[in-house]
Structure 1
Amino acid sequence: MLNSVDFSGRPFHFIGIGGIGMSALAYVLAKRGLPVSGSDLHLSRITQRLQEEGAHIFWSQDPSNLDFFQTAASVATESLASAVSVTKTNPGGNRSTSSRSPIQQPTLLPQVICSTAIHPANAEYRAARESGYPIFHRSDVLSGLMQEYESVAVAGTHGKTTTSSMIGYMLLQAGLDPTIVVGGEVNAWEGNARVGQGAHLVAEADESDGSLVKMAASIGIVTNIELDHPDHYNTLDEVIAIFKTFAGRCQTLIGSIDCATVRDQLQPTISYSLDVDTGADYTVDCITCRADGTTARVWERGVILGRLNVKLLGKHNLSNALAAVALGRLLKLEFATIAQAISTFEGARRRFEHRGAYNGITFIDDYAHHPSELRATLAAARLQSDNGSASKRRVVAIFQPHRYSRTLTFLEDFATSFSDADVVVISDIYSAGEANPGNISGQQVANLIGKYHPQVNYQPSLQAISQHLTKLLRPGDIALFLGAGNLNQLIPEVMAFHQTIEQGRSQAWCNQA
């Protein structure tokens, strides 16, 4: 195995190239003109974008995929040899008739990139190991890229994608032309990554598998720290240790001291808080939370900077915006420039993403899968529900628990996370590759939530949920599809059902008129 990732021209092969983190890195490398191939099981918008940038993608994970670059090199060499042979025997040609064979360029084995999601028994991965291919974790690629830029790494249990995307958008709007690698798709750059010509790289830094310790950024940001991945960590102290290592490797650390763990354990260089009494470097007051966004007055070390308008709902997104303010000011941006960018940022996909409105029902897709995230997302939905009208809109939470380990660890917290929902629908647990331990199920989650909530229903499959929603949802509802699994695949189907009802009602009205 090599000691470091080679960005000088050696090929890259990604096993599982369609993953949200893997694909972002593959896009950056392909955009830089490096040879990229990869394997995945499904065509998607993300893989199509990679193909458009020249990445070669296989639709199965097979050991033969690893031979792609060597096969291509062999074909190129044979073509060159054939061309030389034709030149030698062409009697009318003016080219050299040297009998030397073309120079044989050694074909380097591609660097194989994997994520933690790739099981050691994966046939393609196993073949790469047995054949001596240089193998790297995706975090090694990101860490290597960070060293080539003035890097901004956004870490934290919650809010990483939104904060990193907002910062990337802010630098883009400010004319700094950043390179961006995030864990969600953003319409502003039509994907989860962009390659700029500026000095800055903005990246989402993930703690889920411990690889955060590899990141050494010019500027690190930590939004909060909680236990979220019990499949990897046994205790919160283990998570804190990872973040401490990350903080120590960053030249400057920006952190939210609204999180006591960040405040006490990391002691950030630059702090931010939603509470002016904390004495943070960046704070806010005069906060107004509305159905269409949040407004606040921003302070910088005791001096008023001005008003900040955030389109994204909820105080948690105001906190994310304040992290962007702190970063922007550190980079010497005028507050007016920062505020203008933040006021037009529309968020990343699957972060309270508005998918459509049919038959008077609003459909929202959100990645929330931790109790803290569920509470924040449902509180934001409640803002839209309590919009000042005479009758409140129902908030219908459709939740797919993610991973057996997480569900079991936070079972009691999940039970009390749905107070802002009027109706709760629970699916079975999305395994995310974990084996079923047999001691936890979606039915148990629903039963426990039912002890604290009057309207909870369990549906064992996606098909059952879809059928249930055709009867449950009614005009005026806000339907939130919550979870990090595949629950959101139902949204188009459910929307289409209500679109048909809406069209039928419209046609009936026209006929009467």
Structure 2
Amino acid sequence: MLNSVDFSGRPFHFIGIGGIGMSALAYVLAKRRLPVSGSDIRLNHITQRLQDLGAHIFWSQDATNLEFFRQAESSKSDALPAAAVAIAANGKNGGGAKETLSTTSKVSSNADTALLPQVICSTAINPANAEYRAALELGCPIFHRSDLLAALIQDYQSISVAGTHGKTTTSSMIGHLLLETGLDPTIVVGGEVKAWEGNARLGEGPYLVAEADESDGSLVKFSSQIGIVTNIELDHPDHYSTLDEVISTFKTFASHCKTLIGCIDCATVRDALQPAITYSLHRESGADYTVDCVTYQANGTKAQVWERGELLGELSLKLLGQHNLSNALAAVAVGRLLNLDFAQIAPAIATFEGARRRFEYRGEYNEVLFVDDYAHHPSEIRATLAAAHLQATELPTAHQRRVVAVFQPHRYSRTQTFLAEFAESFQDADVVVVTDIYAAGEAQPDNLTGQQVVDAIAAHHAHVVFQPSLAAVQSFLEQTLQPRDLALFLGAGNLNQIIPELMAFQERAAKSISQERCDQTSF
């Protein structure tokens, strides 16, 4: 069938295989013993994991990479069966390209084409990319990452988690719940989780739990048994001009789900989608799943959970803050829809430790606690800082921490669109450090730098500084961080690269202080 992904044994080649979304899909395919190759510019633990499964990875994006499987197969006496050339479903060829395969590909004969891999691209791939151009020239079937995920979703009884915020945590928590209750799910998420040591796992059960991303509009491709929408806001002004466009995408996603679960604390979800199953942090909302007797603590959250007016029992979370309790209610709703008892659900959720870069504790050195978080939208920053403030202040006064928020704005388009909202998002921080904007491939508009972000925040916050580079941020924090500080690194870019060096600096400082004390007591 035209436009269909072939799971019968034909190879896959990922351009940019080390990305968090691409690598999850590659992992599932490799675990299914399908031939997988890909390219990336550097080795990391994600690509190493794929190599350990037998994936062949090239460390440059060259046109010759696409000959790998054809050369390998040509050396065998038995060739793969002939296959038709597939064309990307929406004609965009991996999201970034503007040409269509039907007009630009030099399609080979069926015998030749059968030896070529199915090429998987993300929206980040530029149409001028050498591998991408070679794929067009050779007549490879080219699919966007979302086309492959959509095909996998069709292969399972799928649970797809969408929403502007909370997708990774909610999908990871649901995956953890199904894993802990013996349902052995396949999982594809946008973050790494300790329970399955990565961003994906292949299970033998009938369920697939997938994080469904709206950033490039590809959300409309997914048809799931169960869909979850956590909230709806404008977050990607590089793709959407208005909130109404975002809502339209979510409406299409909702129409493709057999059962839709939604958080009605978000008025947009409540009014625009009218989910079949609802959840809310407020008993008076009338939602199907609600909570009361909530206790937010520095080491977690507790609440009583109600199902349509009947008390299910107490739920305990290791995760902090209202937003994570809301995410947990979504997981409860899914579990109950799958006929799990609350007595199974609650213990499973209680053991969930979160996903990497979602208020991730990186370590404590010289009494400085380092936390890494992916928050890059004003709403996410406010929620994350509220959790940090709770942890920093729910201690005896003599032991309370300063919250030092270190922020790397992500994308010029997002920074420009939400500058006023960013300005008011840091009230729960004691000190704010801002570095320059992480472009993520976008061109820089005139007169927009991290300094403008600092100026906007300074109108609402007394202690904010600008450090233009990561090196400058590192140097400033080496001089500024004090014992008892909570250093919170915020952003979707590469800010967290400096955390290991800062932890090492504080470790050396602690050893130096310890040595000085030893020297003093020796006299």
Note the 1:357-506 alignment, pairs <5 A.
357-391=364-398, 392-506=400-514
Q: Which whole-Å CA distance do the structure 2 matches of 1:3 and 1:78 have between them? A: 26
Is 1:171 the counterpart of 2:178? The answer is: yes
State the one-letter code of the partner of 1:42: R
The partner residue of 1:260 within 267, 271, 288 is 267
The CA distance in 2 between the partners of 1:51 and 1:2, in whole Å, is 31
Question: What do residues 126-164 of structure 1 show as CA deviations (whole Å, max 9, x unaligned)?
Answer: 111122111000101110011111100000000000000
TM-score by length of 2: 0.92
Distance 1:126 1:106, change over 3 A: closer
How has the CA–CA distance of structure 1 residues 42 and 105 changed in structure 2, closer, same or farther, with 3 Å as cutoff?
closer
1:31 aligned residue? 31
Find the counterpart in structure 2 of residue 84 from structure 1.
Answer: none
Residue type of the alignment partner of 1:422: D
* Equivalent position of 1:43 in the other structure: 43
Partner of 1:112: 119
In structure 2, the gaps of 5 or more residues are: 80-110
Give distance in 2, aligned partners of 1:496 and 1:214: 45
Asked if structure 1 preserves the Cα contact closer than 8 Å seen for 2:164 and 2:234, the reply is yes
Q: How does 1:234-253 map to 2 (within 5 A)?
A: 234-253=241-260
SS in structure 1 of the partner of residue 278 of structure 2: strand
Q: How many residues align?
A: 489
Letter in 2 for 1:155: A
Residue 76 of structure 1 is matched in structure 2 by 76
Task: Say which SS state the counterpart of residue 166 (structure 1) adopts.
Answer: helix
3-state SS, counterpart of residue 178 of structure 2? helix
Offset of residue 505 of structure 1: 1.6
Q: 2:214 pairs with 188, 207, 210, which one?
A: 207
For 1:189-338, list aligned pairs within 5 A: 189-338=196-345
Contact 1:2 1:134 in 2 (8 A): no
Name the CA distance, whole Å, in 1 between partners of 2:345 and 2:161: 18
The CA distance in 1 between the partners of 2:115 and 2:70, in whole Å, is 8
2:427 and 2:137 mapped to 1: Cα distance? 52
| TM-score, length basis structure 1 | 0.94
Q: What is the Cα deviation at residue 244 of structure 1?
A: 0.1
**Percent identity (aligned):** 71
Measured in 2, the distance between the counterparts of 1:443 and 1:17 equals: 34
- Following the alignment from structure 1 to structure 2, what is the Cα–Cα distance between the partners of residues 382 and 495? 21
Question: Which one of 187, 195, 199 corresponds to residue 188 of structure 1?
Answer: 195
CA distance in 2, matches of 1:453, 1:413: 13
Which runs of 5 or more residues in structure 1 are unaligned?
80-103
Deviating 4+ runs (over 6 angstroms):
none
In the TM superposition, residue 422 of structure 1 has moved relative to its aligned partner by 0.2
Q: CA deviation at 1:69?
A: 0.1
Which residue of structure 2 aligns with residue 346 of structure 1?
A: 353
Can you list the C-alpha shifts for 1:167-194, whole angstroms capped at 9, x where unaligned?
0000000000000000000011000000
**Does the CA-based 8 Å contact 1:256-1:271 persist in structure 2?**
yes
Whether the 8 Å CA contact 1:30–1:54 is kept in 2: the answer is yes
Give, in whole Å, the separation in 1 of the partners of 2:301 and 2:46. Answer: 31
Deviation at 1:106, TM superposition (A): 8.0
- Seen in structure 2, the aligned counterparts of structure 1 residues 233 and 105 have a Cα distance that, compared at 3 Å, is closer
Deviation at 1:387, TM superposition (A): 1.7
Query: How far apart are the structure 2 equivalents of 1:75 and 1:420?
Result: 63
Q: Distance in 1 between matches of 2:301 and 2:343?
A: 17
Q: Which has the larger radius of gyration?
A: 1
Q: What is the rounded CA distance, in whole Å, between the counterparts of 2:445 and 2:133 in structure 1?
A: 26
Task: Check whether the contact 2:113–2:139 (CA below 8 A) recurs between aligned residues.
Answer: no
Distance 2:56 2:381 in 1: 38
In 2, distance between residues paired with 1:400 and 1:107? 45
1:106-185 alignment, distance < 5 Å: 107-185=114-192
User: 1:105 and 1:410, CA in 2 relative to 1: closer, same or farther beyond 3 A?
Assistant: closer
